[in-house]
Amino acid sequence: MDVATALDRLPKVELHCHIEGTMRPATVVELARKNGIALSTADPTELYRYSNLDTFLEIFWLVQSTLGSREDWARLAYESIVDGAAHGLVYRESFFTPARHLDAGQDLADIVAGLADGLAAAEGETGARAMLIADIDRAYGGAAGRQMVERLSELRQAGSPGVERVIGVGLDSTEIGVDPTDFADAFELAGKAGLHRTSHQGEETPPSYIRLGLDVLGSERIDHGLSSLQDPELTRRLAGERIPLTVCPNSNVVIANAVPRLELHPYPRMREAGLLATLNTDDPALTDMDLGREYRSCMEAFDYRWPDMVEIALDGVEATWLDDGGKRDLRARIERDAAALGQGLDRG
Ligand code: HPA
Ligand code: ZN
């Protein structure tokens, strides 16, 4: 077997993937038509070229705006896991960012129920498992973020359908010019409600934002954390405390344009510095990527060997919010399948 196929089949977890960013182009077209959203082209992939995070977000927001009902969210979630599982995904903690939809009058209860419906259907078909992280959209500000967390807490208390899937909150969208401390209230409330916390930091911003994500927002993980190495003391802390970074190397090239070529990405140096740097796709359908190719392209660009890739997959498990038993089971599965796949690899 060639290594590309083996990497595609290697069981993998993913902790940095926006469910809206997994929407199939055909689904974008169908939902846009159904919900009266104007697309300037019959082939949305023509729009998928970005010069920085904000130009990407304009397209991400357009794609998001096609989701109009519980059924739409269910379809998105179902297709997202089916497509991920086709490339070795076995467990995902997936972001969804409902600010735009809540602002337009959708109810968080319907969004969560729809997503949970779709995830359950896909789990039954693929055996992959998926949980959800409700992301606050920085562009909507701290008050909207707090309202979202309040509504989520209400739904948890009421045992609203599917709400048990939502295990944490996150923070995404535009970084530059937004003060992370605006979201301290929302994150504090999430912590009190027993939700995990993570936040996008350091995709386009310096290490000081990563520190704020940890110290002011109480983030247990940092999404991207691309600028970590610029601050040696922060790097020592992240490594020493095994604080996971959910790194998306291809996204950093294609979306943020923060790195000109994959070969120049700091990922290998991050790992050499002892960081728990996991591998993720971010928005695979909007960047022509999948998790198998994310692993393969990084293996080639960073001159990694098969055991390095297995170690990266196992680090993904450590970084999840699964309980110890869940982590042990997943680790055992990856080790078993990796050994079998490794045996069958083409040599030479
Ligand atoms: N960064 C911030 N917001 C996002 C991203 C990202 O990489 N993807 C989707 N929303
Ligand atoms: Zn992201």
Q: Average pLDDT for residues 82-98, to the nearest whole number?
A: 99
Is residue 20 pLDDT above 80, yes or no? yes
- Quote the DSSP letter at residue 182: G
Q: Reduce the DSSP state of residue 278 to 3 states and report it.
A: strand
Rounded to 5 degrees, what are φ and ψ at 334?
Answer: -65, -45
Q: Average pLDDT for residues 19-37, to the nearest whole number?
A: 98
- What does the angle CA 75 – CA 76 – CA 78 come to, to the nearest 5 degrees? 65
Quick: pLDDT tens for 166-188. Answer: 999 999 999 999 999 999 999 99
User: What is the separation of C-alpha 124 from the centre of its chain, rounded to a whole number of angstroms?
Assistant: 22
d(CA 281, CA 222): 15
pLDDT at position 316, please?
A: 98
β-sheet bridge partners, residue 223 = 200, 246
Quick: pLDDT tens for 290-308. Answer: 999 999 999 999 999 999 9
Q: Reduce the DSSP state of residue 92 to 3 states and report it.
A: strand
Ligand 1 atom nearest to 251, measured from its CA? 7
d(CA 99, CA 31): 19
Q: How far is the CA of 1 from the centre of ligand 2 (A)?
A: 32
Contact present, 263 and 250 (Cβ < 8 Å): no
Is residue 348 pLDDT above 60, yes or no? no
Q: How far is the CA of 2 from the centre of ligand 2 (A)?
A: 30
d(CA 292, CA 7): 6
* pLDDT-derived band at 104, boundaries 50, 70, 90: very high
Instruction: State both tokens at 249.
Output: 């190397």
| Active site residue ranges | 203
Q: Average pLDDT for residues 55-69, to the nearest whole number?
A: 98
Q: How far is the CA of 240 from the centre of ligand 1 (A)?
A: 27
Instruction: State both tokens at 177.
Output: 């010019």
Instruction: State both tokens at 275.
Output: 């960081």
Q: Average pLDDT for residues 228-237, to the nearest whole number?
A: 98
CA dihedral 54, 58, 60, 61 (to 10 degrees): 120
* pLDDT-derived band at 283, boundaries 50, 70, 90: very high
Q: Average pLDDT for residues 80-90, to the nearest whole number?
A: 99
Is residue 42 pLDDT above 80, yes or no? yes
Quick: pLDDT tens for 154-170. Answer: 999 999 999 999 999 99
- The number of CA neighbours under 13 Å toward the Cβ of 196 is 23
* Ligand nearest to the Cα of 252, by number: 1
Q: Does 172 contact ligand 1 (Cβ within 6 A)?
A: yes
Is residue 213 pLDDT above 80, yes or no? yes
Query: Which residues neighbour 300 within 8 Å (Cβ) at sequence distance 6 or greater?
Result: none
* pLDDT-derived band at 346, boundaries 50, 70, 90: confident
pTM exceeding 0.85: yes
